Amino acid sequence: MADDRCRVFFALWPDGALRDVLAADAGQLPAARPIARDQLHITLLFLGVVTSAQRACLLDGAAAIRSPACELTLDSIGYWRRSQILWRGARQTPPALLQLVDALHRLAQGCGVEVGTRPFQVHMTLARRVERRPRWVPPVSVTWPVRHFVLVESMLVPQRGSPYRLCGRWALLG
Ligand code: 3AM
């Protein structure tokens, strides 16, 4: 039934202290639509609209993933002209993160969820509708101790407050 469906994605979700650091320079962002502090995240795998059975399968499978923790250094700024997105990125992607993304791809496949084939790229969206690459001093690099990953529901029906709701959070192997 349509009501059982939800739009979900796996992500890295910063804790409060890291969020403060990441949001500290948001005030300097060029005029656009900056992402609110409590919505900053890194998408690991976008799954799209799934059924409740697929969602349950994803939750079960995510709990069984054994993937190592890592340190992720966000030390670059990128801009995608077509999507008009300004993002924070990483010059180096830790192999452990790629391992996690691979595991999530396998999980999605096992749950019968079709996902795109676009290679994973670390990006934390900072602002949308940025019409041209801004002249902007990139923020200092931030090292994120990645210890968890999450499943996020992205609300299909617009509502007040955050469009995101955390459905599950799992620890990585420390
Ligand atoms: O927050 P970011 O920018 O990493 O762009 C959407 C957002 O990513 C992305 O999923 C995240 C939560 O909405 N997204 C939305 N639709 C998508 C699609 N069809 C998509 N990513 C890939 N394919």
Q: Confidence class of residue 1 from pLDDT cuts 50, 70 and 90?
A: very low
Average pLDDT in the 117-125 region?
95
Predicted TM-score (pTM) of the model is: 0.94
38 has a pLDDT exceeding 50: yes
Cα of 129 from ligand 1 centre, angstroms: 14
Q: Whose CA is nearest to atom 3 of ligand 1?
A: 125
Average pLDDT in the 35-64 region?
97
121 has a pLDDT exceeding 60: yes
Cα of 7 from ligand 1 centre, angstroms: 10
What percentage of the chain carries pLDDT values higher than 90?
75
Tens digits of residue pLDDT in 50-59 = 999 999 999 9
pLDDT for the residue numbered 150: 98
Q: Confidence class of residue 31 from pLDDT cuts 50, 70 and 90?
A: low
Does residue 46 line the site of ligand 1, with CB under 6 A?
Answer: yes
pLDDT for the residue numbered 23: 86
CA Rg, the chain, in Å? 16
Q: Whose CA is nearest to atom 13 of ligand 1?
A: 154
Residues 89 and 78: their CA atoms lie apart, in Å, by 7
Instruction: Specify the range with the lowest mean pLDDT, choosing from 29-33, 36-40, 69-73, 88-92.
Output: 29-33
Q: Which SS3 state, helix, strand or coil, does residue 46 take?
A: strand
What domain range is 38 assigned to? 5-171
Average pLDDT in the 115-127 region?
94
Number of independent structural domains in the chain: 1
Among 40, 33, 36, which residue's Cα sits nearest to residue 12? 40
Q: Confidence class of residue 27 from pLDDT cuts 50, 70 and 90?
A: low
Burial of 80 from C-beta contacts in 10 A (0-12 / 13-18 / 19+): middle
Cα of 3 from ligand 1 centre, angstroms: 21
Does residue 54 line the site of ligand 1, with CB under 6 A?
Answer: no
pLDDT for the residue numbered 134: 84
Residue 65: both structure tokens together: 């993933």
Residues 30 and 113: their CA atoms lie apart, in Å, by 37
Q: Whose CA is nearest to atom 17 of ligand 1?
A: 46
pLDDT for the residue numbered 164: 95
The CATH number of whichever domain residue 58 belongs to comes to 3.90.1140.10
CA trace torsion 173, 94, 126, 138 (10° rounding): 130
